[in-house]
Amino acid sequence: MRLIYFILFFSPLSVFSQLETAKIYSSNMVLQRDAPIPVWGKAVPGSKIEIRLGTAIKITVAAKDSTWKVYLPKQPANHQPQSLLISSGDTAVQYNNILIGDIWLCIGQSNMEWPIIKEMHYKEEIKNSSQPLLRFYNPTYAGKNVFGTKFTDSVTAMLNENDFYKGQWQHCDSNSFKTMSAVAYYFGKQIANDVNVPVGLINLSIGGAPLETFIDKVVLKKSKQFSGKMSSDWLVNETLPVWVKERGNQNVGKLQNVPADENGNNHAFKPGFAYSAGIEKLLPLPVKGILCYQGESNAQEIERVNEYAALSKLLIEDYRKKCLPTGQAGKQPQLPFYFVQLSSIDTVKYKGHLWPQFRDEQRKMLQLIPNSGMAVCSDIGAKDDVHPTNKKDVGERLARWALNKTYKQNVVPSGPLPLNAKYVNGKVIIVFQYMSKGLKTSTGEKLKGFSLDGINEVEAVIGDSGIIIYTAKKPEFVYYAWKSFSNGNLVNSENLPASTFKIKVR
């Protein structure tokens, strides 16, 4: 919890116990529109707390365990800053410059974390960085950028649920936006400009993190398919990604003074840890949707690849059960979940051998998870770098899904996604969703990237209803972009790329 106070009677010991608010509250924040607004924290048991936001006032009493929580009336989007004042006795907490709009929660690993200052359009974008409707909560975390070595005592001291994340809300200007997630920034900027609503971005991404850390450990334990991930010390658990365990062992494997439980030493990569240290502490706060750019750490063993869609479904179904946009017990079954498909990378300098399979597994998530969307990025991958620097296209492609599905605008959300493949009279005909005004190639050259065996490329042409491949014998499957570093060049009239796929020919 965070303590911020204006002191009328100064006494350090008594002040600390007087009044606290949840860490997510600070000046410059965004509160979710069209939903009751929760405010919660701690105070002396039995003390009266008054909460004011604009003209709304709520009064409550701290419980025996010192906790308190109120819900202020819902408000529409508001471009005029407000102040939130919480007072108890002679202690007050005030947060200024608060807007009412839409909050998007961002999770993932280094490509979601990747800051604007390292993005390829940074020098151009800094001229546009004054975005008064854009706010972000972009905390740092214990162990950030510590590679290949053990954590220091100062880092291990923060490996607990209360101290792991540290940060506060910021408004977007040329200085503050430098460290913001580039993907989230471009997404939020597009939404704020097109919908004319304040956008708050909560970025809890962690470089290198597996998906498992963002899932409630209780949910993992109860899962018939994934309970094994919580059955032993995570640093030696065979059901977790190998690279993740290697990094974990480098950082905390031999340390004795690390906070731990029955599943081993705490770490950013430990199953359930980012959830308990970050997500869980936000749950009373309504959000508009979830953005996810994650997968590199789960894409290096075939067992992890094959389970990824189901693991993602487990994550978002749990979030949807726990998100309470009305401030009352219930569910948000349609909470938007928009994610980024892995890009392309060669296998010479990186273990990207299973990336075609992984990208296809992510494509299957669209059918497995209702109200989801996938930004295809295989066309903007870096051949020898797991961190492509073009995040502008990534963020804007995510925004297309939100504009189409969440904000109901007439926007094409995606490049071509395969619906089916049929063999008719010596040819395979592949039909696509999201062809828009027609299919074409991104380069103006002939089509590339199609295969009937996943290895050898075959000639394909654009027909009136889709893609045509001529073959004397009916194949079992048709593949597209089935290479780690894809050369596929199929796009729709919006210049949005087609997804990697492997589908059965009927």
For residues 11-24, average pLDDT: 65
Alpha-helical (H) ranges within 223-336 are 242-252, 273-274, 280-282, 302-322
DSSP structure string for 66-124: SEEEEEEPP---EEEEEEEEEEETTEEEEEEEEEEEEEEEEEESHHHH-BGGGSTTHHH
φ, ψ of residue 273 to 5 degrees: the values are -75, -45
For residues 421-428, average pLDDT: 97
Per-residue pLDDT at 331? 60
pLDDT in tens, 196-222: 999 999 999 999 999 999 999 999 999
DSSP state of 413: -
Per-residue pLDDT at 121? 98
Q: Which helix (H) or strand (E) holds 396?
A: helix 392-401
Nearest CA to 337 among 352, 325, 320, 351? 320
pLDDT-based confidence at residue 14 (cuts at 50, 70, 90): very low
pLDDT in tens, 298-323: 999 999 999 999 999 999 999 999 87
* Per-chain mean pLDDT for the chain: 94
Rounded CA gap, 143 and 340, in Å? 25
For residues 337-343, average pLDDT: 98
Task: Name the percent of the chain lying above pLDDT 70.
Answer: 95
HSE of 90 in the Cβ direction (CA atoms, 13 Å)?
7
Per-residue pLDDT at 18? 82
Q: Per mean pLDDT, which range of 290-294, 330-334, 374-378, 478-482 is the poorest? A: 330-334
Query: What is the number of helices (H) and of strands (E) in the chain?
Result: 12, 28
Residue type, 137: Y
Rounded CA gap, 423 and 471, in Å? 9
Rounded CA gap, 501 and 290, in Å? 24
Per-residue pLDDT at 59? 98
Contact 327, 35 (CB under 8 A): yes
According to DSSP, the residues that pair with 165 across neighbouring strands are 141
**pTM for the full predicted model:** 0.95
Rounded CA gap, 144 and 80, in Å? 35
pLDDT-based confidence at residue 2 (cuts at 50, 70, 90): very low
Q: Per mean pLDDT, which range of 13-22, 92-101, 283-292, 420-429 is the poorest? A: 13-22
- Give CA 332 to chain center in angstroms: 17
Q: In the predicted model, is pLDDT for residue 6 greater than 60?
A: no
Per-residue pLDDT at 332? 74
Q: Which helix (H) or strand (E) holds 18?
A: helix 12-18
Q: In the predicted model, is pLDDT for residue 468 greater than 60?
A: yes
pLDDT-based confidence at residue 12 (cuts at 50, 70, 90): very low
Per-residue pLDDT at 13? 30
- What residue segments make up the domains of the chain, in order of their start? 101-298+335-354+372-406, 417-504
Contact 49, 60 (CB under 8 A): yes
Let me know the angle formed at the C-alpha of 21 by 18 and 22, rounded to the nearest 5 degrees: 145
pLDDT in tens, 121-173: 999 999 999 999 999 999 999 999 998 899 999 999 999 999 999 999 999 99
Q: Which helix (H) or strand (E) holds 169?
A: strand 169-172
Rounded CA gap, 200 and 53, in Å? 18
DSSP state of 167: -
pLDDT-based confidence at residue 227 (cuts at 50, 70, 90): very high
Say what angle helices 302-322 and 355-368 make with each other, to 10 degrees: 30
Highest averaged pLDDT of the listed ranges 9-18, 46-55, 320-329: 46-55
Within a 10 A sphere around the Cβ of 420, how many other Cβ atoms?
13
Give me 472's structure tokens. 């004397």
pLDDT-based confidence at residue 324 (cuts at 50, 70, 90): low
Task: Let me know how long the chain is.
Answer: 506
pLDDT in tens, 32-65: 999 999 999 999 999 999 999 999 999 999 999 9
Contact 26, 95 (CB under 8 A): yes
Contact 37, 99 (CB under 8 A): no
* Residue at token pair 């998100």: 323
Cβ within 8 Å of residue 125, ≥6 positions away: 116, 119, 392
CATH class as words, domain 101-298+335-354+372-406: alpha beta
Rounded CA gap, 85 and 72, in Å? 12
